[in-house]
Amino acid sequence: MATQHLTIKELTEAAGGQVTPRMVRHYHQLGLLPLPQRSTANYRLYTQQDVQRLRRIVALKQQGFQLSHIGQLLETDAETDANQTLMIQLQRQYQTVMQQMARLRQTATALEGLLGRDRHCLTTQAEALAQLKRLEADAQSGCGELEQLWLSLDAETATHPETFQESLQRLLPDLSHYSEITVHLLHHLVLACGDVSLVNFVRLSDGAIAAARDALKSGCAIVTDVAMVAAALDRTRLAHLNCSVETLIANPHVTAVDEAEQAFWDDALVQERLAQIPVGSVLAIGYAPSVLLAACQLIEQRQIQPALVIGMPIGFSHAPAAKRQLMRLPTPYITIEGTIGGGLLAAVALNALIETLLEKPDCHCYLTRL
């Protein structure tokens, strides 16, 4: 059976990923794609092997690999060697990305130090512009000349307390499309971790705020994964709402994420407690990703029916997967995409909801899409 050949246009269409004939020719020049056969009319003729190779190039490029790294990966033929080489390249790529993030974080910190200053600390506009110009020069030369400039500005910080809300107004992205109660929640999460970029990763389902307020008004049970999350909750306000607090992993000696994760797997009683949480409860998970994974499975099987899930466990594989699974469920949720999370953030989220419920019981802004 003769091999079916493809033209360069058919090759790019089969590969997808917005590949163009010009890109294919460039990959030929770099040696990423082997030179094809030619027809009698001198047209390039490609095979399905070329399609698969081109798709792999596109996939690796979309993951951020440099073309030189892609060439090294494509040179490996043996499957076991390919997997090992891929893992090494992924580690290198990860370290490169982390270094880039660290440099960007340093730049962001410098900008926060300027833009986040309240009116008592902020100097004249001319000096602020000079700071920005010096920041650019410092980033290029690496001389650290900004240090002397910060000294004069930092001297003002000892004269008065910081006004956090004023600083947040300059640093946060536009939140006008969120309700007042949601903005209050986001502010508290940012202040709890000191990272303004967290706002970009917080995810709330459409009915999360309404579900939380209804459940808290009814005196629902609050169920946490570990005692440290429960300890950070506002017990005074919860008592006012007649809300009880229960803990799945009640062992007070479990104080680390890995301990909480292992405790859930080792103790069948903990898993039974999860399967028996009261209907309409608020489930706040800030440590063990397996607790959230199990909770999602129980919700999907309709064995438990929480009113709200605050899913913010920590982890590098299970936690992101558990959060993605949570966001696919119809149950109202509040979560933070990726690996970011923690018991403090889970407790802060719930405390912020409790605070706005008691201080603004008649507010209905969260029911309107802005």
DSSP, collapsed to helix, strand or coil, labels residue 39 as coil
Contact 24, 8 (CB under 8 A): yes
Catalytic residue among 26, 69, 184, 187: 187
Q: Residue 21: beta bridge partners?
A: none
Nearest to 71 by CA among 38, 37, 29, 100: 29
Mark whether 177 is an active-site residue: no
Phi, psi of 175 (to 5 degrees): -110, 20
Q: Residue 282: beta bridge partners?
A: 222, 308
Amino acid at 183: V
Alpha carbon 21 to its chain centroid, in Å, reads 36
Joined together, the tokens standing for residue 215 give 């459940």
Contact 67, 32 (CB under 8 A): yes
Contact 337, 198 (CB under 8 A): no
Just list the catalytic residues.
187
